[in-house]
Amino acid sequence: MKVGARTHAGKVRPNNEDGYLIRDRLLAVADGMGGHKAGEVASAVALEVMGEYPFSQGQPESDLRRAVQAAHERVRELASQDPAMAGMGTTLTAALIGPDRVFVAHVGDSRLYRWRAGELKLMTEDHSLAAELLRAGRIDEETARRHPHRHALTRAVGIGHSLAVDVGSFPIEPGDGLLLCTDGLSALVDDEDILRILQAEPSAQAAADALVDLALARGGVDNVTVVVASPH
Ligand code: MN
């Protein structure tokens, strides 16, 4: 598997609350939120718990669900122990890559795309207020893009007592590519530009670098993180 990754604070925010994880066949991105350093802690802790989880013990989907629940419990525990960390949370999008399937666990508005034969397909649903309204048919895409609460998450790791985790899988074939990213990319770079870069760049790392560069060129208003992988 060839993998490239890059994370950047962007041009406006003082801290980078995003993070990513690459461990064997497990890829993940996280976008933390919270005051002071809490957002950085939440995303880092969630990725750490994912990285330490003993995958391959059971079924990939139940393993992923347990790993994200463990991350949720750990973030909540730390938040309860330190008032400066109260209310911290993070998105978490993780992909466990098997020989012919990708298993996904997802909470929040980070994204996983599959790239196949000149087509980019979003494999996750954003858990944001605007995206939920759009899926319910109550607003259109244009309104969703400009919605004042488009970044307000309806779910986050570490927030609330229980956490609903989207878990699923999809097939992959030789030649397919995967992109995991935080909203710092997807809010500024649309699918067409993402696809153009994935097709033009000679390596996963060159593509990751070019995607972040484009988000920065368009203002870099948020932290931005991308992981690009060619599983075969
Ligand atoms: Mn973000």
pLDDT (tens digit, 9 = 90+) per residue, 64-87? 999 999 999 999 999 999 999 999
Which pLDDT score, from 0 to 100, does residue 148 have?
A: 86
- Ligand 1 centroid, distance to 182 Cα (angstroms): 6
pLDDT at 56 over 80: no
More confident residue, 36 or 16: 16
In percent, the amount of the chain with pLDDT more than 90 equals 90
Overall pTM surpassing 0.85 (yes/no): yes
Which pLDDT score, from 0 to 100, does residue 9 have?
A: 97
- Ligand 1 centroid, distance to 63 Cα (angstroms): 26
- Ligand 1 centroid, distance to 222 Cα (angstroms): 6
- Ligand 1 centroid, distance to 95 Cα (angstroms): 19
- Between CA 226 and CA 131, with CA 209 as vertex, the angle to 5 degrees is 30
Q: How far is CA 9 from CA 2, 146, 213, in A?
A: 24, 23, 12
pLDDT at 225 over 80: yes
Q: Which residues have beta carbons under 5 A from ligand 1 (an ion)? A: 31, 182-184, 222
Residue 28's domain comprises 2-230
Model confidence at 95, pLDDT cuts 50, 70, 90, reads: very high
Query: Do 164 and 155 meet the contact criterion of CB atoms below 8 Å apart?
Result: yes
pLDDT at 89 over 80: yes
CATH code at position 222: 3.60.40.10
Q: Domain tally for the chain?
A: 1
Which long-range contacts (C-beta less than 8 Å, at least 24 apart) are formed by 209-218? 209/4, 209/6, 211/6, 211/179, 211/181, 211/185, 212/6, 212/7, 212/8, 212/185, 214/188, 214/189, 215/8, 215/10, 215/184, 215/185, 215/188, 215/189, 216/8, 216/10, 216/11, 218/188, 218/189
Which pLDDT score, from 0 to 100, does residue 87 have?
A: 94
